[in-house]
Amino acid sequence: MTSATSRRRVLPGFGLTLGFTLLYLSLIVLVPLSTLALRTASMGWGSFWATVTSPRVLASYRLTFAASLGAAALNGVFGLVVAWVLARHRFPGRKIVDALVDLPFALPTAVAGIALTSLYSPNGWLGRPLEALGLKVAFTPLGIVVALTFIGLPFVVRTLQPVIEDLDVEVEEAAASLGAGRRQTFAHVILPALFPAWLTGFALAFARALGEYGSVVFIAGNMPMRTEITSLLIITKLEQYDYAGATAIAVVMLVASFLLLGAINRRQSWASRRGATA
C-alpha cells in the first residue's frame, strides 16, 4: 500500500493547476470543436460522405495539404539558414533583420495577401519578370505556396534560433579536431542536435499553413478544382448558409491535421529523448 506521504509531490499545486489546465483547454479548444462535431452529426452519414468526397472538396484537400507541406519544407530549409545567420553571426543591421522575421506574425494576413498579390501579379514587380521566364505565380498553386511560406517563416526561425544559440561551439571544434570537414560536421553533429527543434518549427509552420485563409484568398485566384483552398471552401459554404456542409469539411480537415501533427510530435519527442542533454 502506498502511504500518503510517499505520494505527496515536491511541487505543490498539482491538482489545482491540472484542473485549471483541463478547464481552460475545454473552454477554449474542446467545447468549440465539439459543437463542430455536433453540427456535422446533424446531417447524417450519407450526406456527410457525399459532401466531404465531392471532387471539388477533395481537390481542395489535396491543394491545401500539398501547398502547406511545400511551404513548410521551404521554410524548413531557408528558415534554418536565417536562424543560423541570426544566431551565429554579428553584422550591421542584424537587429533589423531579426525584427523583420516577426513581421508575418504581426501583419494582418489580408494585408500580406494583397501585398503579395500586387507583387506577383502578371504586371507586378516580381510577377512581370517571372512571367517573362514562363513562371506564373499569382493565381496559381505556386502563389499559394508563396503566401504560406511568408506566414510560416517565423515559426521555423523562432523555434530554431535559441537552440542554435545554445549549441556548444566546442562540439564543432571537437568534430574538426577529429578530422571532420564543415559539411560532415554539419550533417553528423549539428543537424542531429537541431532536429527536434527543427521538426517542431516545421510542424508549427505546417499547422499554421493548413488553416490559413486571409493571405491566400487574394493571391490564389480561387478557381474551383485548381486554386481553391479548404478554408475558402468552408467560407463559401457558410456564405450559402450551409453550416452543416461547412462543418463537415472542417471536421475532416481537423481529424487529418490532428493525426499528422500527432505523428510529427511523436517523432519529435523520440528525437529529443535520443539527444537528451549530455
Partner 1 sequence: MNIEVRGVTKKFGRFTAVDDVSLTVPAGELVALLGPSGSGKTSLLRIIAGLEAPDAGAVLFEGEDQARRDVRHRRVGFVFQHYALFRHMTVFENVAFGLRVRPRGSRPPGVEIRAKVMDLLKLVQLDWLADRRPSELSGGQRQRVALARALAVEPKVLLLDEPFGSLDARIRQELRRWLRRLHDDIRLTSVFVTHDQEEALDVADRVVVMNHGRIEQVGAPDEVFEHPATPFVMTFLGQSATFAGRVQGGKAFLGPLAVDFPGHPHEEARPAAGYTRPHEMEVGRAENGGGGLWATLRHLSPAGAVVKLELADAEGRSFQAEVNREQHETLRARVGERLYVRPRKLRIFVEPR
Query: Which of residues 140 and 268 has its CB atom nearest to partner 1 in the complex?
Result: 268
- Which range in 10-18, 61-69, 176-184, 226-234 contacts partner 1 by CB under 8 A? 176-184
Report the phi/psi class of residue 107: left, alpha or beta, with left for phi > 0 and alpha for psi in -120 to 50.
beta
Q: Does 2 bind partner 1 (CB under 8 A)?
A: no
Distance CA 13, CA 25 (A): 18
Do the Cβ atoms of 104 and 151 come closer than 8 Å?
Answer: yes
Do the Cβ atoms of 115 and 121 come closer than 8 Å?
Answer: no
Q: Taking Cα atoms as reference points, which of 144, 152, 141, 236 lies closest to residue 200?
A: 152
Minimum Å gap between C-beta 194 and partner 1 is 10
Give how many residues touch partner 1 by CB under 8 A.
22
Q: Does 90 bind partner 1 (CB under 8 A)?
A: no
Q: Does 165 bind partner 1 (CB under 8 A)?
A: no
Residue 91 has which C-alpha cell?
553584422
Distance CA 236, CA 214 (A): 14
Helix and strand totals (H; E) in the chain:
15, 0
Interaction residues for partner 1, span 186-245 (CB under 8 A)? 188-189, 192-193
Residues 247-276, one symbol each (x = binds partner 1 by CB under 8 A, - = not), give ---------------------------xxx
**Which residue from 176, 244, 254, 261 is in contact with partner 1, where contact means CB under 8 A?**
176
Binding positions for partner 1, rule: CB under 8 A: 168, 170-171, 173-181, 184, 188-189, 192-193, 274-278
